[in-house]
A and B are shown apart, each in its own frame.
Chain A
Amino acid sequence: MNDLLQLSDVSMSFGGLKVTQDVSFTLRSGDRVGLIGPNGAGKTTLVNLVTGNLAPMSGRILLQGEDVTHAGISHRVRHGLVRTFQITRLFQTLSVADNVALALLQRKGLAMGFLTSATERPEIRDEWTRILHVTGLESRAYDPVSVLAYGEQRLVEIAIALALNPKVLLLDEPAAGIPHEETHRVLDAIAALPADIAILMIEHDIDLVFRFASRVLVLANGKLICDGTPETVAANDEVRSAYLGSYANDRRSA
Chain B
Amino acid sequence: MTAINTVAKATGSRLPSWIRYEVTAFAVVAALGMVGYLLFPYDLALLTRIIAVTFLILSLDLVTGYAGVVTLGQAAIFGVAAYAVGNACLAGITDPVILLGVGIVAGVMMGLLSGVLISRFSALPQLVISIAFGQLIAALANKLSQFTGGSDGLAGFMPSAVLGVFEFDLFGRTSFGFSLVVLAVVLALLLRFVQSPFGLMCRGIRDDALRARMIGTAVYPRLIIMYGVSGAVAGVGGALAAINVGVVSLHSVSFELSAEALVMLVIGGAGHLWGALLGSVLFQLFGHFVGSTNPFHWLTIVGATLVLITLFAPKGLYAAAVSAVSKFRKGRVA
Contacts and interface: CB of A to CB of B under 8 A. Distances in A.
Interface string B205-225: 011101111111110000000
Contact of A116 (B197, B212, B214, B217): B197
Contact of A111 (B193, B210, B217): B217
Interface in A67-103: 72-74, 77-78, 82-83, 85, 89-94, 98-99, 101-103
Contacts, number: 94
Contacts of A107: 215-216
Given A74-B216, A89-B210, A106 B201 contact: yes
B192 interface: yes
A111 B210 CA distance: 17
B198 interface: yes
Contact of B200 (A51, A90, A101): A101
B12 interface: no
Given A89-B208, A94-B203, A105 B216 contact: no
Contact of B196 (A74, A106, A117): A117
Given A74-B216, A102-B215, A106-B215, A114 B193 contact: yes
* Band of interface residues on B: 20 to 34
Contact of B214 (A77, A113, A115, A117): A77
- Most chain A C-beta atoms within 10 Å of own C-beta, residue among B18, B193, B214: B214
A105 to B, nearest CB: 5
A73 B207 contact: no
A74 B217 contact: yes
A115 B192 CA distance: 6
B204 interface: yes
A118 interface: yes
B203 A91 contact: yes
A246 B210 CA distance: 34
A92 B207 contact: yes
B195 interface: yes
Given A89-B210, A94-B204, A115-B192, A164 B198 contact: no
Contacts of A72: 213
Contacts of B201: 102, 105-106, 111
B277 to A, nearest CB: 20
10 contacts: A85-B211, A89-B211, A89-B214, A91-B204, A91-B208, A92-B207, A99-B204, A114-B199, A118-B196, A164-B216
Given A98-B204, A102-B200, 8 more contacts: A73-B214, A77-B215, A89-B214, A91-B208, A101-B200, A102-B201, A103-B215, A105-B201
Top 8 closest pairs, chain A to chain B, by CB: A77-B216, A91-B207, A113-B197, A89-B211, A91-B204, A118-B197, A118-B200, A103-B215
